[in-house]
Chain A
Amino acid sequence: MGRPVAIIGVGQTYHGRRMDVSYPELVREAVMAVFKETGLAPDDIDGVVSGTMPSMMEGIALTHFYFADAMQAAGKPIMKTETCGSTGVSIAHTAYYWVASGVADLVLAVGHEKMNEGNSQATMTTVAEPFYQRYFISGAPGVFSMQSQMWTARYGIPEEKTRDAAAFISVTHHDDAFDNPYAHIKMKVSMDDVKNARIITYPVRLLDVCPNSDGACAVIFASEKMVKKLKLKPAWVKGVGYRGEEYFFGDSDKVVWEAAIQAAKQAYDQAGIKNPRKELDVAEVYNPFTFQEMLFYECFGFCELGESPDLVLKGTFTRKGELPCDPSGGVLCTNPIGATGLIRVAEAALQVTGKAGAHQVPGAKLALAHAMGGVDQFNGIMILGSEL
Chain B
Amino acid sequence: MTKEFRTIKTEIRLPYELAYGETWTRFFEGLQEKKIYGNTCPKCNRVLVPARAFCPRCFVDMDKWIEVSQEGTLVAWCYTNYKYYGMPTEPPFIGALIRLDGTDVNFLHLIGGIDLSDFDEVRKVVKNGMKLRAVWNEDRKAHIMDIRYFEPV
Contacts and interface: CB of A to CB of B under 8 A. Distances in A.
A247 B105 CA distance: 12
A141 B95 CA distance: 11
Contact of B81 (A130, A146, A149, A202): A202
A251 B56 contact: yes
Contact of B82 (A19, A133, A150, A200): A200
Contacts of B7: 19
Which interface residue of B4, B57, B82, B87 has the most chain A CB atoms within 10 A? B82
A306 to B, nearest CB: 15
Given A125-B87, A136-B109, A246-B56, A201 B77 contact: no
A360 B3 CA distance: 35
A147 B76 contact: yes
Contacts of A153: 76, 128-129
A121 B78 CA distance: 16
B108 interface: yes
A145 interface: yes
Contacts of A251: 48, 56, 105-106
B42 interface: no
Interface string B1-31: 0101101001010000010100010001000
Contacts of B144: 131-132, 135
A199 B88 CA distance: 20
Contacts of A146: 76-78, 95-97
A150 B56 contact: no
Nearest to B7: A19
A248 B77 CA distance: 16
Given A132-B50, A135-B89, A150-B97, A201 B56 contact: no
Nearest to A249: B108
A247 B77 contact: no
Interface residues of B, number: 45
Interface residues of A, number: 38
Contacts of B93: 138
A344 B79 CA distance: 30
Nearest to A129: B18
A142 B18 contact: no
Contacts of A149: 76-78, 128
Given A119-B85, A136-B108, A131 B78 contact: no
Contact of A134 (B28, B88, B97, B123): B88
B18 A138 contact: no
Interface string A234-263: 000000000000111111000000000000
A327 B110 CA distance: 38
Contact of B108 (A119, A121, A133, A201): A133
Interface in B80-125: 80-82, 84-89, 91, 93, 95-97, 105-110, 119, 123
Contact of B84 (A119, A136, A249): A119
A131 B144 CA distance: 7
Contacts of B60: none
Contact of B88 (A125, A198, A200): A125
A166 to B, nearest CB: 15
B95 A250 contact: no
A139 interface: yes
B24 A131 contact: yes
Nearest to B128: A153
B67 to A, nearest CB: 18
A122 interface: yes
A133 B109 CA distance: 8
A53 to B, nearest CB: 15
A59 interface: yes
Nearest to A130: B18
Given A135-B145, A137-B95, A246 B88 contact: no
B106 A138 contact: no
B9 to A, nearest CB: 10
Contacts of B109: 136
A247 B56 contact: yes
Nearest to B97: A250
Given A138-B87, A250-B97, 6 more contacts: A59-B12, A150-B128, A153-B76, A202-B79, A246-B56, A249-B106
Interface of A: 19-20, 59, 119-122, 125, 129-139, 141-142, 145-147, 149-150, 153, 198-202, 246-251
Q: Which are the 4 A-B pairs with shortest beta-carbon distances?
A: A250-B106, A150-B76, A121-B84, A202-B79
